A and B are shown apart, each in its own frame.
Chain A
Amino acid sequence: MTGQANAGRPNQLLRNLHSKIASIPMILTAVVIFLGGTLWTVFYSFTNSKLLPRLSFVGLDQYERLWAAPRWLISIQNLAIYGVFSLIFSLVIGFLLAALMDQKIRFENAFRTIFLYPFALSFIVTGLVWQWILNPEFGVQSVVRSLGWSSFTFDPLYNSNIVIYGILIAALWQGTGLVMCLMLAGLRGIDEDIWKAARVDGIPMWKTYVLIIIPMMRAVFITTLVIIASGIVRVYDLVVAQTSGGPGISSEVPAKYVYDYMFQAQNLGQGFAASTMMLITVAIIIVPWAYLEFGGRKRG
């Protein structure tokens, strides 16, 4: 940045030379490890590698087997349910909490700490805590039953049809605090004058939020969305800690399929095929969005 003004017409390549040199290691890491690793994985997904990678091509066999496997289909379905609900609920709850916090309430610091605290716990700890809370023998169900409602049943982790929602509850408990903080930061960045102007015009508060404030917070929403979405795709440890994929295979997720087949089944080819499918899923979502966001119309 400095020195740019008095350097006349600098060579494009030599601009900010120091920062370019400094970022070489990171660029190399990105290219060699991320991109290289990705290409390697995709490449070997067309082989029948077992415990160790080997070059014996089988075409699309691994993919055919993958899409015929009931466990993979259930995994995809679970990820879709988990993804949609966790996106909606963490945004809505996070924003509502932030809006409430923004009403100049007392003890705001204390509340903020309480809401953010679960985020300090790892997914494994979160999973174990909620496994106990949702366990019918010592958790919510037994507490309510001991209060007198003896036919009360609440055992999401032991019911194949709703087990994914049991995992969703734990994920929301852990993650909404962070969303709230991001939203709160966004709300604090809104100029006081805008609120004053809205009040002078007599616009009701909810309308101000929906029509003025939220559109102004676009950047914050996008950041939050990316953070939540990346968390959704890689969900793994929470499931392992809470249900290990059970009952049966009803709470399996794609990341767990990849791990189990690469290491437990000693079938790298199948695991690579599954992880390639995960990559494609992410790409299908990210690429059009990135195109709309950064490509096409150049702004500023």
Chain B
Amino acid sequence: MKLRLLAAALAATVVLPFGIANAADLEVTHWWTSGGEAAAVAELAKAFDATGNKWVDGAIAGSGGTARPIMVSRITGGDPMGATQFNHGRQAEELVQSGLMRDLTDIATKESWKDIVKPSSLLDSCTIDGKIYCAPVNIHSWQWLWLSNAAFKTAGVDVPKNWDEFVAAAPALEKAGIVPLAVGGQPWQSAGAFDVLMVAIAGKDVFNKVFGDKDEEAAAGPEIAKVFKAADDARKMSKGSNVQDWNQATNLVITGKAGGQIMGDWAQGEFQLAGQKAGTDYTCLPGLGVNEIISTGGDAFYFPLLKDEEKSKAQEVLASTLLNPATQVAFNLKKGSLPVRGDVDLAAANDCMKKGLEILAKGNVIQGTDQLLSADSQKQKEDLFSEFFASSMTPEDAQKRFAEIIASAD
């Protein structure tokens, strides 16, 4: 009896204020926890709070690999949050198919997302059976090589302009006690670095053939053999970078303890936070300076189906806030990523972001691996490359296993 009374009283105190203000607390889960990322997410929270609702931050530390299982089990377990980050693509595919996520088509048509979101492949990745299920917030591309100008100065060599020059400069860096290439121990980092090498060395068509068409023969072919050769170089150059997280590896580059890092443009947020300037303190080479192509993966927010009407309304408000031009600029400048709308003014963008925007405008884009491969195939790939980078497995053996993964990929 007492308990029920107490529960009723509690419920009343919770419901009452919301009823009056017509606003709601919305828990938003994401894995943006490094310095630059946290600064960016604070911009989203500020914009959402300004609408009268309240952003309840549910940051989950330890990268997407740790965070996604928690998010998925909360949604499937009947304790959904108000909104959650995923890399758009196939990570939330099954959640949508089993009807756990909210259909955003109405609001998307009302605000004509189809016209403002560029490139359109971003919205395609949110679309399942003709309905839109997520709000893309940024474009992240993997294909960047970040170089520390200070490290090359110490070693007495010029800052490289492409991957081959970088490989050639490695011995000089090593002599100066600098790790040439920083690669963190988390599996997704080595797998991602390989994908970047593939685009740069084998080109766009081979990339699409292998990951898009899952062509086993191409994966076992001579083009990919060259990529494995380059991965072998990368492995030798990464010896001694004993760090785990990607931002720790970026920090090695920022402090000049490492020559460079292959990492997505989210690394830029870290350089910015450390007060470094593109061009003078660090150099960025899109497509490793070889093939200037970037992938257009990124982050998107998905909204689980909620019973609470107030919260459902707040979800709509959040969805439109995320794509608001002002929010897009504020968020993406801090995050180091590119905005999803083609019509916003990014005058404040730094040199590296401008390079990215240029490539985007030229249309030299590919789909990200998260959009092309299932989480299962991605995991198998991560297992292979984390083993490859930490062991002395020959490139030939690794390629054979890679081809097997592609053969069974879905």
Interface residue ranges, A against B (CB under 8 Å): 50-52, 65, 69-71, 135-137, 158, 160, 244-250, 259-261, 263-267, 270
Q: Which residue of B lies closest to A250 (CB)?
A: B390
For B387, the chain A residues whose CB sits under 8 A away are: 70-71, 248-250
Minimum Cβ distance to chain B for residue A131 (Å): 10
Q: Which of B376, B383, B401 has a CB less than 8 Å from the CB of A249?
A: B383
Provide the bound-state CA to CA distance between A71 and B69, in Å.
Answer: 20
B residues at A contact (CB < 8 Å): 65, 68-69, 72-73, 76, 91, 93-95, 98, 185-186, 242, 244, 374-376, 378-380, 383, 386-391, 401, 408
**What's the least CB distance linking B390 to chain A, in Å?**
3
Q: Are B376 and A265 in contact (CB under 8 A)?
A: yes
User: Which of B95, B185, B389, B408 has a CB less than 8 Å from the CB of A244?
Assistant: B185
Cβ-defined partner of A261 (8 Å) among B98, B242, B379: B379
Contact (A244, B242) CB under 8 Å given A51-B94, A264-B375, A265-B378: no
Which chain A positions have C-beta within 8 A of B375?
51, 264-267
Contacting pair B94 A247 (CB below 8 A): no
The smallest beta-carbon distance between A83 and chain B, in angstroms, is 22
Q: A71 and B383: CB pair below 8 A?
A: yes
- Whether A246 and B376, one on each chain, are in contact in the complex, defined by CB atoms closer than 8 angstroms, is no
Determine how close the nearest CB of chain A comes to the CB of B84; give it in whole angstroms. Answer: 14
Q: How far is the CA of A245 from the CA of B95 in the complex (A)?
A: 28
Shortest beta-carbon distance, A27 to chain B, in Å?
A: 26
Known contacts A244-B244, A264-B68: A52-B94 contact under CB 8 Å? yes
Highest count of chain A CB atoms <10 Å: which of B94, B186, B387, B401? B387
Chain A interface, >50% SS class? loop
- In the complex, 9 of the A-B residue pairs with CB atoms within 8 angstroms, ordered by the A residue number, are A51-B93, A51-B94, A160-B391, A244-B244, A246-B390, A263-B68, A263-B72, A266-B94, A270-B376
Q: A265-B378, A266-B94 are in contact. Are A249 and B386 (CB under 8 A)?
A: yes
Residues of chain A within 8 A (CB-CB) of B390 are 160, 246-250
Contact status B389-A265, CB under 8 Å: no
Q: In whole angstroms, how far apart are the Cα atoms of A241 and B383 in the complex?
A: 18
Which residues of chain B are within 8 angstroms of A52 by Cβ–Cβ distance? 76, 94, 98
Q: List, in ascending order, chain B residues with CB within 8 A of A249's CB.
A: 383, 386-387, 390
Query: Chain A residues with Cβ under 8 A from B65's Cβ?
Result: 264
Contacts A71-B383, A246-B390 given; does A51 touch B72 at CB 8 Å:
yes
How far apart are B361's CB and chain A's nearest CB, in angstroms?
35
Closest to B393 in A: A248
Q: Are B242 and A260 in contact (CB under 8 A)?
A: no
Q: How distant is the Cα of A244 from the Cα of B189 in the complex, in angstroms?
A: 14
B-chain residues with CB within 8 Å of residue A135 when the two chains form the complex:
242
Give the shortest distance, in Å, between B315 (CB) and chain A (any CB).
22
A136 neighbours in B (Cβ, 8 Å)? 242
CA distance A136 to B240 in the complex (A): 11
Please determine whether B379 and A265 come into contact, CB atoms closer than 8 angstroms: yes
Given A246-B386, A248-B388, A264-B65 in contact, is the A158-B379 Cβ separation under 8 Å?
no
Report the 7 A-B pairs with minimum CB-CB distance, sorted nearest first.
Answer: A248-B390, A263-B69, A265-B379, A247-B390, A51-B94, A266-B375, A267-B376
In the bound complex, do residue A244 and residue B374 qualify as a contact, i.e. CB atoms below 8 Å apart?
no
CB pair A246–B379 under 8 Å, yes or no, is: no
